Amino acid sequence: MAFILPNHELKARTKYNSSKYDISHQLLFQTPLFEIHIDDIDNRQLEKNIYKLRDESEDGVLKSNRGGWHSLEQSLNPEQYCGGQFENEEKYHPMDDTFKPLTDKLIDILHNLPFEPKIDRINNMTIWAMINKKGSYNTLHNHPGCDIAGVYYVKVPEGDCGNIAFSDPRESYVFGNGFMVSRYSGGETIPRFPVEGNMYLFPACLHHAVDPNLTDGDRIAISFNLLLS
């Protein structure tokens, strides 16, 4: 059984429906975004571990990042493609303990998401760190080849350090329908603001970008792809 949002019933002759007709507001083709605040991770230690990772491999890799540092991708199963950068190439690295404080919590969180059947195991995962210094940003992209993508904020400097912006997955279909986009959908992109300790989980096919970091401090995040089916 899939996760389906209940209909929103607007009863006739009420505060929200002054007409004499009942209206059933039905949501089709929902796009889930899960926000989880994790308050029992030592982010300062995690921050130190990520800077150490950068110092050991300073060049990193270039993916959607522009001006920031993107670590090499680590994987539970380095031989299996999981929505990373190098499809069909043996360039994943075995997972070490750098991200263990976060990865240890994932299966419990995933099991309690509103999916049927429940998620009880992770078949594969790729994970990496990003350090976005002043002026750094991430171009529009998605994560094909996996099921769920996620981001966790380790360090968030005060000020405008770069929102993550999700694009309407129906963009090619709603183009030209300005009435629905402006009045109902809320716009072609929806921003979420980075908060230290927050994690977002979303369909890997969902396009997203990260605005430039306009502060003098580093914003540090961990991103990952999950293969569940």
Q: Which of 24-28, 57-61, 80-84, 202-206 has the highest mean pLDDT?
A: 202-206
Q: Are residues 181 and 86 in the same domain?
A: yes
State the Cα–Cα distance between residues 172 and 215, nearest whole angstrom. 34
Question: In which band, very low, low, confident or very high, does the pLDDT at 112 lie, cut at 50, 70 and 90?
Answer: very high
Q: Are residues 92 and 162 in the same domain?
A: yes
Q: Would the pLDDT of 81 be above 50?
A: yes
Confidence (pLDDT) at 177:
79
Q: Are residues 62 and 96 in the same domain?
A: yes
For residue 79, what is the DSSP state?
A: T
Q: Are residues 100 and 23 in the same domain?
A: no
Q: Would the pLDDT of 85 be above 70?
A: no
Neighbours of 91 (CB within 10 A): 14
CATH code, domain with 142: 2.60.120.620
State the Cα–Cα distance between residues 177 and 175, nearest whole angstrom. 6
Domain containing 22 equals 1-30
Question: In which band, very low, low, confident or very high, does the pLDDT at 93 lie, cut at 50, 70 and 90?
Answer: confident
Question: In which band, very low, low, confident or very high, does the pLDDT at 134 lie, cut at 50, 70 and 90?
Answer: very high
Span 54-80, average pLDDT: 88
Q: Are residues 52 and 153 in the same domain?
A: yes
Question: In which band, very low, low, confident or very high, does the pLDDT at 88 lie, cut at 50, 70 and 90?
Answer: very low
Q: Are residues 109 and 206 in the same domain?
A: yes
Query: 226: closest CA among 164, 145, 169?
Result: 145
Least confident of 2-6, 177-181, 218-222: 2-6
Q: Are residues 78 and 25 in the same domain?
A: no
Beta strands in the chain (DSSP E): 8-10, 23-25, 34-37, 65-66, 69-70, 74-75, 93-94, 124-132, 137-141, 148-155, 164-167, 189-192, 198-203, 208-210, 219-227
Q: Are residues 24 and 97 in the same domain?
A: no
Q: Would the pLDDT of 99 be above 90?
A: yes
Q: Are residues 23 and 124 in the same domain?
A: no
Q: Are residues 21 and 39 in the same domain?
A: no
Q: Are residues 22 and 41 in the same domain?
A: no
Q: Would the pLDDT of 171 be above 50?
A: yes
Q: Would the pLDDT of 96 be above 80?
A: yes
Give the total number of structural domains in the chain: 2
Q: Are residues 6 and 99 in the same domain?
A: no
The 3-state DSSP class for residue 66 equals strand
Confidence (pLDDT) at 1:
44
